[in-house]
């Protein structure tokens, strides 16, 4: 009856947002790892193949779209479900993300932590 704990990789450079998300998702029972920039996100995604990657776009060293494109180009990582979590609402970035295949695109400031957590839970629910 018990399901294996779902793993989430959270790539977020802002330490306040990172702390808030990490705390909330852990409280909800997820296995949460964090990456503070694009390079780290890429390395950790390759290593652990998370059940979900929550990916910020504007990050040091490597931006989120580049991380996404690299993951999609590698057969081992191209299946990782990715949700973009950004505060940028530029159409061009949405389009690029969509063309690389993402589950969803969320604007952080429009979500409460609870809503964020609910959406993640819904995504990671086993299919009936």
Partner 1 sequence: MATPADDALADTVREHDAALGGLIRANPLAILVVDADDRVQMVNPAFETLFGYREAELVGHPIDAFIVPHTLATEAAALSRSGFEGRAARSITQRRRKDGSLVDVELTVVPLATTGHAIGAYGIFRDMTEQKRAERHLRAQYAVIEALANSSTIEAAAAWVLRAVAEAVDWQVGAMWIVDKTANRLRCIDFWRAAGVDATAFERETRDSQFVHGVGPGRTWEMRDAAWIVDVTAEPRFSRRSSAAAAGLHAAFSFPMLLDGEVVGVVEFFTSRVLQPDPAILEMFAALGQQLGEFVGRTRAQEQLEHFFTMSGDLLCIANFDGYFTRVNASWTRLLGYTATELLSQPYIEFVHHEDREATAVVAASLQRGDPLSAFENRFRCKDGSYRWLQWTATPRLDEQLIYAVAHDTTDRKLLEQQTMETLKMRNDFVSFVTHQLRTPLSGIKWMLELSNDTPDGAEKASYIEDARESADRLIRLVNDLLDASRLESGKLQLSLEPVDVREVTDAVLADVATLVREKHHTLDVQSETDVPVAMLDRQLMGQVILNLTSNAIKYTPPDGRIEIRIGTRGRSLYWSIRDSGIGISPDAQKRLFEKFFRADNAHTVDTEGTGLGLYLVRLIVDRLGGAIACESVEGRGTLFHFTLPMTAGDPQ
Q: How far is the CB of 67 from partner 1 (least distance, A)?
A: 15
Tell me the C-alpha distance between 83 and 44, whole Å. Answer: 16
Q: Which is nearer to partner 1, 58 or 69 (CB)?
A: 58
Q: How far is the CB of 37 from partner 1 (least distance, A)?
A: 7
Chain positions contacting partner 1, by CB under 8 A = 13-17, 19-21, 23-24, 27, 36-37, 58-61, 86-90, 107-109, 112-114
Q: How far is the CB of 35 from partner 1 (least distance, A)?
A: 12
Distances from the Cα of 124 to the Cα of 24, 82, 92, 102, 117, angstroms: 15, 12, 28, 14, 11
Instruction: Count how many Cα atoms sit within 13 Å of the Cα of residue 61 in the half-sphere of its side chain.
Output: 13
- The residue length of the chain stands at 128
Q: Which is nearer to partner 1, 5 or 114 (CB)?
A: 114
């Amino acid at each position: 009856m018990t399901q294996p704990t779902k793993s989430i990789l959270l790539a977020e450079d802002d330490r306040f947002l990172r702390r808030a998300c990490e705390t909330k998702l852990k409280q909800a029972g997820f296995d949460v790892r964090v990456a503070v920039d694009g390079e780290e996100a890429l390395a950790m995604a390759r290593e652990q193949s998370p059940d979900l990657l929550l990916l910020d776009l504007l990050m040091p060293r490597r931006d989120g779209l580049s991380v996404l494109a690299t993951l999609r180009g590698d057969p081992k990582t191209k299946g990782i479900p990715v949700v973009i979590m950004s505060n940028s609402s530029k159409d061009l970035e949405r389009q690029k993300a969509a063309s690389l295949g993402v589950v969803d695109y969320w604007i952080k400031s429009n979500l409460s932590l609870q809503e964020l957590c609910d959406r993640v839970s819904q995504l990671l629910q086993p299919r009936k």
